[in-house]
Structure 1
């Protein structure tokens, strides 16, 4: 499993680097931000749909076993709590926060994708398909953000390292389902933040007044 996750990270990095060299000057900044916002919106919608699928067969005992949101591996990242705070964060820093959150989900989503087909859930095939779709979209958004970095002349030095050290979801079917649901709930929360930050960046690039964002 560790080798699989390392391979996933390498694939993600190579995909991003390849796309970074594809005619970054051919698309305007506002268009890049619009495309990134559309992808992030799709990510959040898909994670919400996937959460609803899981909820259709999730017992009260499973809910009691769910870890607290503060245990999400991205909880240590200091991020704005709302739109007003995000509007006060410099553009470079907000883009770096967005990229840090996105990169932090490369390995966890690979784990979810590999575990989906063996979940003790009647909709495991649908869950597997949607989880793979999440992976495809996060790779596309990562490539888009890399193009934004080049377009805006930003730096990668401010990226936060948020390691994910888990290589399995548990030994019994209940633990596996609970931990799958927990990881997905963490991603759903973070995908909402990513979507919000990108929309703020899009608004600021369009030079709109803060109250219009």
Structure 2
């Protein structure tokens, strides 16, 4: 598959937009890692969750299986996939923030981190729309994303069910967020025509 490269000189407005999006994704990953580590230490430790099957609601999205495949994916596809991943997390991130305090008893510092993740995701989504437009790719207004159906598990009265739902959510969120960062970095590499 030929990788479409944008002919721009770096740094360009497009390059600066990508740099800002990469920085946002890195900030989001740091916060997700902090929340996930705290959750695993205080709620998941010793429960054997790592031996269970993890199901991510974003799994149906068609995407590269690894970095090598992603490197050979067209820039337009990576940008639109990034937007789809971010869009797919809007609803779960709202409920993550809403349920952490109620169902886990999280304190304000950790609730603030969850709120920051939600806000960064929103900012990244807006940045992706601008980047896609700037790259002269078609921007569909209503992106179809997989439905998230784990709210009942997050709110379950069964502690094990509830804790595993949070564990699953953190695992999937972290994985998808790292993919977002990787895709953005690969687009930047393609743009400046360097080996990635």
Q: Does 1:86 align with 2:70?
A: yes
Under a length normalisation based on structure 1, what TM-score does the superposition of the two structures give?
0.77
Question: 1:36-83: CA deviations, max 9, x gaps?
Answer: 0111111112111111111221345533487523x1101122211222
Q: Distance in 2 between matches of 1:86 and 1:186?
A: 19
Q: Distance in 2 between matches of 1:51 and 1:98?
A: 22
- Could you say which residue in structure 2 is the equivalent of 1:193? 179
Q: Distance in 2 between matches of 1:150 and 1:65?
A: 40
Match of 1:106 among 90, 96, 106: 90
Give the number of equivalent residue pairs. Answer: 182
**Where in structure 2 are there 5+ consecutive unaligned residues?**
1-11
Instruction: Assess, with a 3 A threshold, how the Cα gap between structure 1 residues 59 and 144 changes in structure 2: closer, same or farther.
Output: closer
Q: How far off its partner does 1:135 sit?
A: 0.4
- Could you say which residue in structure 2 is the equivalent of 1:180? 166
Greater percentage in helix: 1
Q: How far off its partner does 1:196 sit?
A: 0.3
Q: Does 1:72 align with 2:56?
A: yes
**Where in structure 1 are there 5+ consecutive unaligned residues?**
1-26
Q: Distance in 2 between matches of 1:51 and 1:119?
A: 16
